[in-house]
């Protein structure tokens, strides 16, 4: 019997940590803790804003799937990949 578990944010990506990132409407993101900056595409900006506001990875993916007109599974895989890439980038 297999149990599926909901994807969770890596420890260093908890909502409080994500809220430390300042993001402009154009997708420019700045991490005040490290001084790092990076640019997000529109989908990445929206995903980050959803996560900053407390959405789970699954909730963010569901909203992105609806907004982009793609299957939830595709949006979930992309959102998980985005979160893990961001986690590797943040100290």
- Going from N- to C-terminal start, the domains of the chain cover 11-89
What pLDDT does residue 1 have?
A: 43
Digit-coded pLDDT (tens) for 16-25: 788 889 999 9
Look up the pTM and report it: 0.82
Q: Which two tokens stand for residue 33?
A: 């803790």
Long-range contacts of 39-47 (CB under 8 A, 24+ apart): 43/68, 43/78, 44/82, 47/79, 47/82, 47/83
Digit-coded pLDDT (tens) for 25-77: 999 999 988 899 999 999 999 999 999 998 999 999 999 999 999 999 999 99
């Amino acid at each position: 019997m297999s149990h599926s578990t909901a994807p969770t944010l890596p420890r260093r990506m908890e909502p409080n940590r994500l809220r430390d990132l300042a993001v402009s409407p154009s997708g420019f993101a700045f991490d005040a803790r490290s001084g790092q900056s990076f640019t997000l595409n529109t989908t990445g900006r929206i995903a980050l804003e959803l996560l900053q506001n407390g959405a789970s990875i699954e909730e963010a993916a569901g909203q992105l799937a609806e907004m982009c007109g793609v299957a939830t599974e595709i949006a979930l895989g992309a959102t998980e990949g985005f979160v893990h890439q961001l986690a590797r980038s943040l100290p």
